A and B are shown apart, each in its own frame.
Chain A
């Protein structure tokens, strides 16, 4: 009896804990993917998490939804407003990450990150989401689009970026007044993982070369470890050429001779820079699609991280990137026919060149572009 009375509060507590499990899980990094049952997943239609994001995100996502509706794509969206600049309206991180780990796929706009922190917390919402889901590999496929005029033609490179450690570890402190230290973390396990991802990506997609981008001449230990991990992994892929390039040289080569690159594997910050640089070469933030992979789930998001908040509500943003993202998403969830349908329609509209948004030298607005794509859909 005494035992029961002693343990009663604990038992009750546990019961409460079960009920309030959702808030308790907030900010934990380990995701339990086994929770969602088979019965949660319909057989005929796929559910996909949708995060419109900040800036023009909601408008672009609306375009994609219109196209999906018109094309009869069997995908339902589970939409969450998720934002760092608008914290009161934002859905909790836990809810969103749970939804993504249940659905396994997500279509996401860009989240704006303020330059200062309200709470003194160093991690941005983007970083929290990546850590929560362990979205370690960011893949941006930079490819010249037909009918989009730019400085270079025939660019086709894939930039693979580690995005859970490195400079983005959010470890900064002021050791003495006026002296701030920012820690860059490089681990062998994560470096190997991203290197292997890059080589596996190259193998799967029939690519010939992997370039490791680094700055090991200065950061001999940190970037050195990254480079060594890549070299080690390269030995397992005898059919894929491996080369290394220092990041400053890489950016120069990128703007002068971008055709030489095939697959590039980079640590966090360099990847971010090279991504945006390369996107600029083929037509800007509005046309490049990307995706972030974890072992279990994928988040499809535009490749260049730009919210275009100047254009909110003006109906001028280019939905191409978001549409290409959605096409890739459909390929990933085994609906390649629908994916090709959307991709071909976008290609056709761009190639015809009659309907173009302002960023790629046209006069049309977002809506007109969306309807042009819908008109070019060839039903499956």
Chain B
């Protein structure tokens, strides 16, 4: 892979290293990987490629240079992308709840017009997320079916290199659902696989769509999952795949996760084929703990589990990269009225789980207040509607940010 890459992009500067590398296999990896990154940086700085193309043509190159976190005097700045549909309406509830609870968060709102194909707004949104490190996002519709216009949601994820999507599926008390006491963590590769968006018509009437699986990204996801499991006292990690059919691509994903699993002997690891997994989920969901999977399977499985525990409006999805995090409704569809609570949920988690900063009690208290408030809403009223969100927030007005 590396050699192929070097052939494609080699310059006179790099080729001597390649010959050295043949002689000294140990140094190979070090030098090549170093040059590889430098090459990526050089490409990024000098090339005429767009950031999106760089991401796809050089999938292993990390594009982000870390910048300082926007946390001043204990207050966070957070980008808010209301999105379309009921997004904006829900965001007002989020803001209200935050104000009442006194959460130390300042929102920077960036509106993206779903109708226009203009990339400027999207670029500004991405810049804003880069500045703040964290965003809360409604779903942004991409109306156009023009092949030139890519999905904005996908574009944001790719640009920010948010390689993992995490969905914590936990049954809520007071929500009637088909299955109770579910506690599954779905961890999904978020930037490649079927969503690589590389499709072409090779012969008239024959379309090929490429599914890209890279070892480095598979490794990152697997490592993230095992680290998560270890940190949170989870017992088991299940890899979901279809390696019996896609022996190379899904095979690589499976092999990588097996290799990583060896580094975590305290956590049990097994794997399951996607079709069987879906069946098991609806019949015996309690056997699952942490699940890792490629992009498309993740989309399917998370929707299945959401359905099992009470619908699209309840869960929040978290997208993490090395530097950035985006929180959004779990199932990524433009929600119903029920999603009012759902939105409050990711934001509440946002502060606590912010990757780069340490735990801070000020935010966790307000988070607790928000989630406590939510649970009260759920328990007290069977009909989970937005209107009941407001009255329960009101008493919290007195609880100023401690």
Contact = CB atoms under 8 A, between A and B. Distances in A.
Nearest to A295: B71
Contacts of B382: none
Interface string A293-308: 1111110000000000
A46 to B, nearest CB: 7
A34 B130 contact: no
B127 A38 contact: no
Contact of A237 (B104, B131, B365): B131
Interface stretch (B173-181, B219-227, B284-292, B353-361): B353-361
Nearest to B358: A34
A192 B124 contact: no
B233 interface: no
A159 B118 CA distance: 36
B70 A42 contact: no
Contacts of B127: 236-238
A119 interface: no
Contact of A334 (B67, B70, B400): B400
Interface string A93-125: 000000000001100000000000000000000
Interface stretch (B72-80, B86-94, B135-143, B155-163): B72-80
A192 B73 contact: no
B81 to A, nearest CB: 15
Given A192-B68, A196-B70, A197-B72, A44 B108 contact: no
A46 B400 contact: yes
Nearest to A201: B72
Interface in A306-343: 332-335
A161 to B, nearest CB: 14
| Most B-side CB within 10 Å, residue of A193, A293, A296, A335 | A296
B365 A38 contact: yes
A332 B72 CA distance: 11
Interface in B70-121: 70-75, 77, 102, 104, 106, 108
B401 interface: yes
Contacts of B131: 196, 199-200, 203, 236-237
Contacts of A208: none
A104 B73 contact: yes
A37 B361 contact: yes
B275 interface: no
Given A34-B359, A104-B362, A296-B360, A334 B401 contact: yes
A174 interface: no
A293 B369 CA distance: 26
Interface string B275-299: 0000000000000000000000000
Given A34-B359, A34-B361, A238-B124, A43 B399 contact: yes
Contacts of A105: 73
B73 A298 contact: yes
Interface in B343-366: 357-362, 364-365
B402 interface: yes
A334 B362 CA distance: 12
21 contacts: A34-B358, A38-B361, A38-B364, A43-B399, A105-B73, A137-B72, A192-B67, A196-B68, A196-B131, A200-B72, A204-B77, A204-B108, A233-B67, A236-B130, A295-B71, A295-B72, A295-B73, A334-B104, A334-B400, A334-B401, A335-B400
Given A196-B68, A296-B73, 19 more contacts: A34-B359, A37-B361, A41-B402, A44-B398, A44-B400, A104-B74, A104-B362, A137-B72, A189-B68, A192-B68, A196-B67, A196-B70, A197-B68, A203-B108, A236-B127, A237-B131, A298-B74, A332-B73, A334-B400
